[in-house]
Amino acid sequence: MVVSNADIKCSNMASRLLASRASSAGGAAASTTNQTLTSRTITGRTTSIPTRTSNNTAPPSVVGTTVTTNDTVSDIGSGASAVFMNQQRSNDFILTNDQLLGIVSKNVRLDLFHLVKFITSPSELDWGEPIQRWIFKKVNFSEDKSLKEFWAKHCRCVRLALNKKRGNVSTEVKSSFMSKSIISYHLT
């Protein structure tokens, strides 16, 4: 395999798309982390801080009146929590092959289809042709060697995604044509 899984890094749009998915996937862990590291104060009373080391899973209990008014974050510069946080952050920017293909095919379905309806020749999918350049620009892929190999391996997916979309649209056109409103008001 030329491009290994979880090795392709890209920026901007593609990463943002995946970042939202990654953050929702790791959301539980992240929110737990925040809870364990944050001392939250409610006006008039404070809650006890469950710590990571104590593995305290019980709900925070009301302790008494309080003093502080701001949220305070404990030091995360050392230990396993820092490693975990760094991993979480870096995971946001790493895409697997499947995820990359998902982004590409989504762009084909939603945007490219409005500009290109047929790919009749394989040469239209060659590196440097307008379709490749449009897709890479759209998803902010850099044009380095690894992505060139990725494209050579997976450009066929663009054609398949386009064909599938065209088939779905044709079905939709047929159902619109056959719909009751057209039959009763216009065609009969």
Site for another protein, rule CB under 8 A: 114-120, 159, 163, 166-167, 169-170, 172-179, 181-183, 186-188
Whether the Cβ atoms of residue 150 and residue 103 lie closer than 8 Å to each other: no
CB nearer another protein, residue 28 or residue 115: 115
For the CB of residue 104, give the shortest distance to another protein in the complex, in Å. Answer: 18
CB nearer another protein, residue 6 or residue 173: 173
Residues facing 73 on adjacent strands: 38
For the CB of residue 180, give the shortest distance to another protein in the complex, in Å. Answer: 11
For the CB of residue 168, give the shortest distance to another protein in the complex, in Å. Answer: 10
CB nearer another protein, residue 9 or residue 45: 45
Q: Which of 133, 150, 136 is nearest to 98 (CA)?
A: 150
Q: Which amino acid is at 35?
A: Q
Whether the Cβ atoms of residue 74 and residue 52 lie closer than 8 Å to each other: no
CB nearer another protein, residue 113 or residue 127: 113
| Whole-Å CA distances, 5 to 20, 90, 181 | 19, 15, 50
For the CB of residue 68, give the shortest distance to another protein in the complex, in Å. Answer: 21
Residue 128 — left, alpha, or beta (φ > 0 → left; ψ -120 to 50 → alpha)?
left
Neighbours of 105 (CB within 10 A): 19
